[in-house]
Structure 1
């Protein structure tokens, strides 16, 4: 089992890709996988993303308590930026 921090980071990174590329089935499936891990392994619900440069914030509930974590925009956007720079490497196979 990954730590909650790692799972939130991975979820946010792929969620940003999924939001930018709504037709990308791999991004959608991976987002759903991490959401399931957050729910099943960490008891997380109510995920809300807020972007206030230079940070992303995730608000969520865990064990009835509202919590917030933050990640740098540069760290989270790295995958999306890579896809934008080399789109031929990230073809969507439906």
Structure 2
């Protein structure tokens, strides 16, 4: 899995896990993507640094350097919106 894809997948499920702290599956999935990021890509100190009107900013360390990756906010929040709109998951 490419680094950018793993970061995006982690971001989406992190937003779900934050919004739904009782959702164990979301937390397990978030941890799975974090494991991919740390073990396969050498990422550490990953966090959502900032969210503005249009973008979500991720900060992380890789290869001894601090990195910033941004994703469109609408895309990042889509999984959470889909879950919240489906009564089966509420």
Give the TM-score normalised by structure 2.
0.94
Q: Distance in 1 between matches of 2:44 and 2:33?
A: 12
Q: Which runs of 5+ in 2 are unaligned?
A: none
Within 2, Cα distance between the matches of 1:65 and 1:25? 32
Q: 1:62 aligns to what?
A: 62
1:76 offset after TM fit, Å?
A: 0.8
> TM-score, structure 1 length as denominator?
0.91
**Which position in structure 2 is the counterpart of 1:51?**
51
Question: 1:54-80: per-residue Cα shift (whole Å, max 9, x none)?
Answer: 100100000100000000011011110
The corresponding residue for 2:76 is 76
**Alignment partner, residue 11 of structure 2:** 12
Ranges in structure 1 where 5+ consecutive residues have no aligned partner: none
Q: Which runs of 4+ in 1 moved over 6 A?
A: none
1:87, distance to aligned residue in structure 2 (A): 3.0
